[in-house]
Chain A
Amino acid sequence: MMTLRTRMTAAMIVLVVATAISVAWLANLAFGAQGLPEALDALGSDTRLLAATLQATAIGAAADILTFGRLDVAAAVAEGGSTTAEAEAQLADLFAAALAVKQRYLQLRFIDTTGFEVVRVDRRDGRVHSVPQVELQDKSERPYVQGALSLQPGDLYVSPVQLNEEEGELDVPYVPVVRLATPVASSSGVVGGFIIVNMDMRSVLATLKRDAMDRGRELYIMSASEYLLHPDHDREFERSRGLSRGWSDDFPDLPPDLANEVAWTGLADIRGESVGVAVRGLPLAGGPRVVVLTTEPEAQLMAGPRRVVTSAVLGGGLVALMATVLAALLARSLSRPMARLAGAVARFETAGDWDVPSGTTGEVGVLADTLDRAIRSEREKHAELEEQIEIRRETEAKLEREAARLRHLSTVAQSSLDGIYTMTAEGTVTSWNPGAERLYGYTADDMVGRHISVLVRDDDRPEVEGVLERLRSGEAVRDYETVRLTRQGEGRDVSLTLSPVRDDAGAVGGISAIARDIGERKALEERFRLSVEACPNGMVMVDESGVVVLVNREVERLFGYSREELLGESIEKLVPEAARGAHPGLRRRFAGEPRRRAMGSGRDLFGRRKDGAEIPVEIGLNPIQAPDGLFVLASIVDISERLKAQEELRRSNEDLEQFAYVASHDLQEPLRMVASYTELLAQRYEGQLDERADKYIRYAVDGAKRMQLLITDLLRFSRIDSQSKPFAPTELNAVVQEVIDARLAAALHEAGGTVAVAELPVVQADEVQIGQVFQNLISNALKFRPEDRPPEVHVAAERQGPMWLISVRDNGIGIEEEYAERIFEMFQRLHGVGTYSGSGIGLTLTRKIVRRHGGQIWFESTPGSGTTFYFTLPVDER
């Protein structure tokens, strides 16, 4: 039987050795076996992060110039013209601000399509400097000018990383730069130049290099032919500096197509040493490829895990040795501390929770301390590894954020009203948003994996193939208006915007499509077209440059051209040759001040028919402001008929006057005979025949006299226009006085009446005719007098704005309201022949004279107590 001490010693040795072995085994299990792949993964992740940093720098610059390229001020510079100087100054200010903020920008420029610098801001000796016009240069021979000018607005040109040159010499010290450029379109969509930035790559490259060195790694960044970054500074840009060495010989063990590798990680033999290598290839801002390559010696890669295992084994061995030596000494006092220690180890083994047994002295204490140190050392290594894992986690978080951004874009697509879908370059659908479902009736499940041609009408197939071909060649197709079929087989008007999607290598890998429903717009257009078509006037719509875009049937009829002969042609085709030269200028003047108005008001307008005949027309112009410019809708009426009718009316009026004149004049003569001889009969034979004969003779004399009066008035009436005198300043007081004294004296005397005349104005008038007016009105007042009182007439005038209001008031019998309309009509006599004499033409004549003088006449009357005639005459402004 062994003693307890021997047994305890033996048991302790067994226990301690077993513990040491198990710790070493656990450590090896935890770190050794997976050590290398984990380390290489970490190297790969870090390399990806370095590449991403480099890419972010390039994309930041790309975003800046794309933003500049979309600014109105850039469009204004691209447009040229009178306001350009101001726009150029504004753009220079923006460039200067960008250079002040971003130290890595060396230069920002606007270069026109001839390759000449228009705006240029440099960084010189650390200061931002706007280059004056006289120092601007012709850059048309530079490759970046050629590259940038072949692009569409929104596209990007990225140069390779090159050493900066000043006037043909390499800048020393060497400055690696990247140039990014984007074309700029004017507001009308024409490319007028491009914006280009020169970016200094030194600081970003230095940062990456320092980052790698801090981790004991070596960083190489290569373009297709040379090192952009190398641990040995002299090896950088060898080809650019005229040296023949490239980089491919330096990595013989690596896969030969390393330059094309997107990502690669592994062990390689470089200069006789086994190293871990991580490679990441990327197109810089979608442009030229660069390769980021990191190396780390295998020994260093494995150092962490190996140190953990080694210290665990060494610790175990030491404990075992000491256990053997001290077993005897320990055995005595070990039973309790050993049990505690064993318990702690067991706890560590099961829960990883290390609690050093306290209060233990002597050998067991030493054993515990030693074990404690070993465990702590292992813990430090473990923390170091955890730190690395944390860094990797951060890298992954960054990648996750990028993925989230893409998901966000996808959400936009999901909620868009437009149909948004993607296809392979061959046209097989790869995604399909709800907008597309609404538009076409197909669900995403229906469409993903199917070819897009299910939406295409048979007749459109060849055209669609052509469009796909253009997209595959890298061309974008914007606002392509066509008809697509829904699931129900109905045609739908859509506007498509299709863009090629490039992969990292720049090849067209897919197509994105935005489809907008333009059915409503098309329907409105159609309704507009139908209304124009149905319009009884000729309707022509022209665009800003005078090109006919719409005509209706009436225009075809008026001008004799078919619609096909007019659409797309200049509107001047319809203008008579004599007016053709001036017409474009008139159109431009209208465009400068577009408002609805009659064309050439006050002038005779003519249109030219296809057969060369000219037709008189009236034209109304309506400007229509549309998103794609100013249109003018002209309404054209053929007025040949109207002019003919007016001419006929004028001639017929003339004929009528002539007839009235001749007729009344020729009637005069025989009537004079009738009147004279009946009168002579009365003179010679009155009282010699019987009473009845005398009465008959009297009737005949009366009739003949009335007829004479009628004819005299008719003659006067017909002569108002043709026999009138030109207007001259006329004193109305003098005229009225002459009428009273010379023409109405007898009548006044007979009636016992008075005429009171207030102050009257001087007007532009025909003195004789205006006298006729007063004579008629005053004699009417005397004629229609009451029986019980002498007639009183008042003539007065008062000014009312631009007119004189002249009144002739009497105290006569008045005029019944019911006659108000008829009184001015010809031959309207209100009284029987016997009561009051008169031809019935006096007031008609009066009205005609007043109207001829630009005035109006009317009356107000109270039957039984008097009438006031009013007439107006224009105030003489001279």
Chain B
Amino acid sequence: MTSDVRAIEVLLVEDNPGDADLTREALEADRVRVNLTVVTDGVEALDFLRSGSRPDLIFLDLNLPRKGGREVLREIKEDAELRSIPVVVLTSSAAESDIAQSYYLGANCYVTKPVDLRAFQQVMAQTGSFWFTLVRLPPA
């Protein structure tokens, strides 16, 4: 169990603000303190990371404008300074090709967003509980 009092820094890469809010809602329902930063495309995400910010965890959508999620994933995992940050691919796609490709590029986890709100809330609660309470994240 974590004894960290510091809020967990999470970067959410999601172009749809509605989706971003739903995710935020779901994560905030948890008791854990989460500091969520939202960027809306791949370029912005990489700029954010290369400007020195080091989130504890990244939630990455695959369908993004400008630079796609797969490309962002590849660049993070090829970058010696960024590769240790766990990346959770959070997408509506359940296609096997997407799942396989994401893990190949170094994704730490792949979660499909359920269409139904309750199911979505459930999944996000479980995902949050896994990453924020069960797992030891890499040290800052």
Contact = CB atoms under 8 A, between A and B. Distances in A.
Interface of A: 668-669, 672-673, 675-677, 679-680, 683, 708
B116 A677 contact: no
B115 A672 contact: yes
Given A676-B117, A679-B118, 7 more contacts: A672-B92, A673-B18, A673-B19, A676-B18, A680-B25, A680-B117, A708-B115
Contacts of A668: 92, 115
Contact of B116 (A669, A673, A675, A683): A675
Interface in B25-47: 25
Nearest to A671: B115
Interface SS of chain B: helix
A669 B92 contact: yes
10 contacts: A672-B113, A672-B115, A675-B115, A675-B116, A676-B117, A676-B120, A680-B22, A680-B25, A680-B117, A683-B117
A673 B113 CA distance: 12
Given A668-B115, A669-B16, A708-B115, A676 B22 contact: yes
A553 B120 CA distance: 73
B19 A675 contact: no
A679 B117 contact: yes
Interface in B52-82: none
A127 to B, nearest CB: 100
Interface in B72-129: 92, 113, 115-118, 120
A669 B115 CA distance: 9
B82 to A, nearest CB: 29
Q: Interface size class for chain B? A: 10 to 19
A670 B13 CA distance: 18
Nearest to A683: B117
Contacts of A683: 117
B131 to A, nearest CB: 22
Contacts of A676: 18, 22, 117, 120
Interface of B: 16, 18-19, 22, 25, 92, 113, 115-118, 120
Nearest to A680: B117
A630 to B, nearest CB: 62
Contacts of A677: 18, 22
Q: Tell which of B19, B117, B120 has the most Cβ of chain A within 10 Å.
A: B117
A438 B82 CA distance: 116
A675 B117 CA distance: 7
Contacts of B19: 673
B16 A673 contact: yes
B88 to A, nearest CB: 19
Nearest to A676: B117
B99 to A, nearest CB: 16
Contacts of B22: 676-677, 680
Nearest to B118: A679
Nearest to B93: A665
Nearest to B114: A672
A708 B25 CA distance: 22
Q: Tell which of A673, A676, A677 has the most Cβ of chain B within 10 Å.
A: A676
A426 B71 CA distance: 109
B15 to A, nearest CB: 11
Nearest to B117: A679
A506 to B, nearest CB: 102
A663 to B, nearest CB: 16
Top 10 A-B pairs, shortest CB-CB distance: A679-B117, A676-B117, A673-B18, A672-B115, A676-B22, A708-B115, A680-B117, A669-B92, A675-B117, A676-B120
A543 to B, nearest CB: 64
B84 to A, nearest CB: 32
Contacts of A708: 115
Contacts of B18: 673, 676-677
A497 to B, nearest CB: 86
Contacts of A680: 22, 25, 117
A675 B19 CA distance: 12
B6 to A, nearest CB: 29
A681 to B, nearest CB: 10
A679 B92 CA distance: 18
A708 B115 CA distance: 8
Nearest to A672: B115
A650 to B, nearest CB: 25
A708 B92 CA distance: 14
Contacts of A679: 116-118
Nearest to A712: B115
A316 to B, nearest CB: 155
A683 B116 CA distance: 13
A675 B113 CA distance: 13
A700 to B, nearest CB: 12
A525 B97 CA distance: 71
A678 to B, nearest CB: 9
Nearest to A669: B92
